[in-house]
Structure 1
Amino acid sequence: MHLSSEARLSQVTTSKRFIRLGYVALFGVLLVAANWLFEAAWSDIRTGPLPVLLDDGWSVNQTAAGFNQVALHQTLTNALEEPFNIHSIIVERHGKLVAEYYQTGPDRSVYALWSRPQHFEPTTLHDVRSVGKSVTSLLFGIAAAQYPLLHPDTVVADLYSDQCVSQRPAHQSLKISHLLTMSSGLDWQEGAGIVDDEIQMFWRKDLVCHVLNRGITTQPGGSFGYNSGATALLADLIVRHSGLSLPEFADRFLLTPMNIKDWQWATDLHGRAMAFNGLRLRPRDLVKIGRLVLNNGRWHGQQLVPESWIKDSLQPRLATGVSNFQYGYQWWTGTVIWPGSGQSLQWQAGFGNGGQRLFVVPALDLVVVTTAGAYGDIETAKRVNLLLQQIVNTVLTDGSNEHER
């Protein structure tokens, strides 16, 4: 049987296609095997419980600062050993690190499509995702003190007169405070996959129009609606009024004064720092942010963030519909029970997808930070939230001997 030239060409093309598919399949198998071998090689590596002394300003309290030390470390170890892909846990009290754990686990950056095993240690940067919203709130407080137009009562349309703000009454009543509390009422869909409004901010050229050029479904200020676009607008206002990029502003007015030197802020396709999810910090530097908040915006005697802004930011203003949590100015709030008194104590926190948490408990002068790689996993989110209560259960004394760093 003789094949025509066209048939032979088709046969060769098909063979080449199968060869290419074979190479792709082989590459996939090798990649999975390499990841498995890497993870197996690092699976038992964990550091802790004693914090590491580095040249970053932190000192260590080896007496556990009023904790039941055995119970504290057992609590942290249990959390790390559970299958929730937690990468680090740090506990700080009275200005000193009390416990610091790191371990290996799968992780991916905000740009990555899949995770890979990563070894974490005190000098390793970690995505903090939406915890960056809370940091942006601090930066906005600094900017608002410098530029009076950025007052929470300012109408957003007055700052974007040449932009896409509708003249309808609801749009004209939208204030900066509504952006801060995520109560804009804008028709915004987030967490719905590749078509959602947050993901579209990666490539939209006119970010302001992307956020503001949409309908309002509820009266501004009436209810909480999670909206990363609100944070992007807050960052845009900082940039417009200061003449600095968001990273430049953060570095000059917050991070450098706090001796935070190693950090990154991922950008979108147009080079804008993604205030809503792009910040990368060392976990122990994230602890510094918590200590700054507990010190009412002061760091080493310098008032970096106005004290009044800290108090306003942490004030619970709106129910979120998530557990019993409420929301302030880009900060979550809730309560824990301290067995030492039986009282309900308020906490404030920055939350980030995947298990990123920055908790502060003012009544106990306590900071807790976790980082993790469980992006989109609600069970890990619940677990790291529960961890705060478990840590508080090990506290023996209150925060009455608080002191400022």
Structure 2
Amino acid sequence: MMPTGGWGRIRIAGRRLGWLLGALPLFAQAQGAPRARPALLEDGWQREDPAAAGFDEARLRGIVAEMMNGRTNFHGVVVERHGRLVAEAYRQGRDRTVNSLFSHLRSFGPEVRHDARSVGKSVIGLLVGIALAQGRLKRVDTPVLDFYPEFPELASPERRAITLEHLLGMSSGLAWHEGGEGPDDEHKLMWKWTPVYHPLSRPIAAVPGSVFNYNSGGALLAADILTRATGRPWTEYARTELFEPLGITDVEWVGDFLGRPMAYTGLRMRPRDMAKLGRLVLDHGRWQGRQIVPSAWIDASLKPRLRTGFDDTGYGYFWWTGAAAWHGRNLPWAAAFGNGGQRIFVLPELDLCVVITAGAYGELPVARQANVIFREIVTSVER
């Protein structure tokens, strides 16, 4: 877990009024009540009226109101377009961190961190691109076992065929069970004394690169490879090379049962900071004129390589892909997904980012409902 002091939990004085405004529904429900706008928090965001940003304001209002007033345990939504916040809404809901057994009622707002879970995988993917540009990593087709000479017993020809690229694309070919009933391989990572050994030592189940199989162990390995390649803890590398350049100062990586930060499921951050990651991707790795992630790496990360078998989605490098209907066309999107309904959607052709947070961990119908809400928001874009 990241330290509680210093950069990890900075609060800027004088933001209480902004929090109160942001905690209100995006559009007040009482007749004649004033409309709440996205909060101004001196965190790099400006805001824009929905109509000026090209939305059907009434339709967007209805979508967000239905989401925030519904029975599903959604906690927040942020809509951003052309570099400005258009909509932001939060409410109370039951929530729990990944290492907690019990949920608690929490009030969410623009300054409240939320579990992002596997959104952290997409962060690791961005860091790999930075490390490649810096020459810390040489090639994505480097065999994974080149980074682990301490495990010579694993160096079979079949296992040596697994590359860093296969980890990023969830196509390592390693046998891996994640999700569904009972204990799975992801949970085993949380208490293994040497967690990197667990995914590396799994049996070979498919030719690397041929089959999509969701594998959090691959994200753990990718983060560990970053540490080995850069000579710095991957959490520190994330802070200095990605988060600080974006002005993101309130981040936590929840630790496993031995206190080790979990790259594959432990990320916690503010939804409006999640939107900064989306804007970074939409601007081809640039933020406020500075190239943080190589543009070519963004393109490679968002390029679908394999079908996932989950609805009609594909997968790039730790980013999901799909398409949304808009004015008779199907426009490609990419997204960072996290268990429970956590989402960072980006739709490049509309220059649109939508962030969703929820507390429905392990509930597949809610995951699908979050995707439906995104598609509905897309239909509210008029131009």
TM-score, normalization: structure 1?
0.84
Aligned runs of 1:221-232 on 2, under 5 Å?
A: 221-232=209-220
Distance in structure 2 (CA, Å) of the matches to 1:77 and 1:346: 26
CA distance in 2, matches of 1:70, 1:170: 57
Match of 2:223 among 232, 235, 245: 235
Which deviates further from its counterpart, 225-234 or 56-65? 56-65
Residue number in structure 2 paired with 1:381: 367
Q: CA deviation at 1:332?
A: 0.1
Shift of 1:324: 0.9
Residue 364 of structure 1 is matched in structure 2 by 350
Matches within 5 A, 1:13-24: none
**What are the superposed Cα offsets for residues 239-282 of structure 1, whole Å, 9 maximum, x if unpaired?**
11212212211110011111111111112234432111101110
Equivalent position amino acid for 2:55 in 1: F
Q: Unmatched 5+ residue regions in structure 2? A: 1-22, 28-36
Q: Residue type of the partner of 1:47?
A: P
Report the counterpart of residue 62 of structure 1 in structure 2: 49
Q: Which residue of 1 aligns with 2:289?
A: 301
Decide which of 346, 359, 381 is 2:332's aligned counterpart.
346
CA contact (8 A) 2:254 2:267 kept: yes
The question of whether the paired residues in 2 share the 8 Å contact of 1:164 and 1:209 is answered with: no
CA contact (8 A) 1:164 1:212 kept: no
Match of 2:38 in 1: 51
- Deviation, 1:147, is 3.3
Report if aligned partners of 1:164, 1:213 keep a CA contact under 8 Å in 2: no
Secondary structure of 2:196's counterpart equals: helix
- Describe the superposition over 1:212-238 as per-residue Cα deviations: whole angstroms up to 9, x where unpaired: 112101111011000000000000001
Distance change (3 Å), C-alpha of 1:177 and 1:55 = same
Q: Answer yes or no: is 1:96 the counterpart of 2:84.
A: yes
Look up the match of 1:130: 118
Q: Kindly tell me: are residues 352 and 63 of structure 1, through their superposed partners in 2, closer, same or farther at Cα, counting changes over 3 Å?
A: closer
Residue segments in structure 1 that go unaligned for 5+ positions in a row: 1-44, 398-405
Q: Distance in 2 between matches of 1:316 and 1:192?
A: 25
The answer to whether the 8 Å contact 1:165/1:213 transfers is no
Deviation, 1:388, is 1.3
Residue 80 (structure 1) shift:
2.0
Corresponding residue number in structure 1 for 2:270:
282
| Aligned CA distance change for structure 1 residues 47 and 80 (closer, same or farther; 3 Å) | closer
Deviation (angstroms), 1:207: 1.7
Q: Matches of 2:50 and 2:145 in 1, distance apart?
A: 54
Matches within 5 A, 1:101-250: 101-147=89-135, 149-163=137-151, 166-192=154-180, 195-250=183-238
Q: In the alignment, is the contact (CA less than 8 A) between 1:180 and 1:329 conserved in 2?
A: yes
> Matched residue pairs, number?
351
Q: Which has the larger radius of gyration?
A: 1
Task: Tell me if structure 2 keeps the 8 A contact 1:179–1:230.
Answer: yes
Note the C-alpha offset of 1:345: 0.2
| Equivalent-residue separation in structure 2 for 1:148 and 1:255 (angstroms) | 19
Spell out, residue by residue over 1:43-98, the C-alpha distance to the aligned partner (whole angstroms, 9 max, x if none): xx843242111110100102430000010110111122222100001100000000
Residues 165 and 192 from structure 1, CA distance in 2 versus in 1: closer, same or farther, beyond 3 angstroms?
farther
Higher share of residues assigned helix: 1
Q: TM-score, normalised by structure 2?
A: 0.89
- Cα 1:63–1:378 change in 2 (3 A) is closer
